[in-house]
Every structure is written in C-alpha cells, then in structure tokens.
Amino acid sequence: QVQLVESGGGSVQAGGSLRISCTASRSTYVNYYMAWFRQAPGKEREGVATRRNLAVADSVKGRFTISRDDAENTLYLQMNSLKPDDTAMYYCAAARTRPGRALYAGEYSYWGQGTQVTVSS
C-alpha cells in the first residue's frame, strides 16, 4: 500500500526558515513519482517541487530546495526566506506513472495528510 507521511511544519516569522519531510514506505518511494504541493484556504492546490531532477516551481525558486535521502525513503523541502504567502498546508504526493505535468495536482493519485506551515509578518 502507498504510505506518505509529512512532518516538520510549524509557525515562523517572515524571513525565517523551515525544513519539512515526507517519509514514504519503501515500495512507494522506489516505485512512484513524488512531489511537494501546497494549498492555502480558498486557493488551488499548487505544485512546489518534484523529486524528478529536484525541480522547484518558479514561485519559490531561489528560496526553496528539494532534496532526497534514498536510504531513508525521505523527501525534504528546505524553505528559506519565508513569506506570509507561503502559508499553506504542504502535502506530499505520489503518482504511479510519469506525470505529463509534474507540478499539476491532478497527475497524482496518492496524498499524505499534510503538514501546516504558517508564516507571520
């Protein structure tokens, strides 16, 4: 079965940093495509970063970095220079087949419960 568990969310002041994690079951980590998404209340779920090529969305480029620890089946998202509009629930997602659009939420069928990130001004 697919298992995705996010952790590390919290509250920080603008300009601060936070590192969140997504730990998957071994089978999920090895056999699925994985990515980070976020969603603020009333807004569309948006792609943040993908494990493939360690790519990040333009909206967070230069501030966020995705990394991986294959031995621990874990994906990380290092978030620096945080802004209030980064406030959202951050989700880890997985897809069985290669997404045509890696940062499009509709490409992913499996989701973790999310971890809340709140940035105050």
pLDDT value at position 110?
A: 98
pLDDT value at position 13?
A: 98
SS3 (DSSP) at 76? strand
Q: Taking Cα atoms as reference points, which of 101, 119, 109, 114 lies closest to residue 39?
A: 114
Name the pairing type of β-strands 10-13 and 115-120: parallel
Phi, psi at 50, each rounded to 5°: -125, 145
pLDDT value at position 1?
A: 85
pLDDT in tens, the chain (121 residues): 899 999 999 999 999 999 999 999 999 999 999 999 999 999 999 999 999 999 999 999 999 999 999 999 999 999 999 999 999 999 999 999 999 999 999 999 999 999 999 999 9
The answer to whether 72 and 110 have CB atoms below 8 angstroms apart is: no
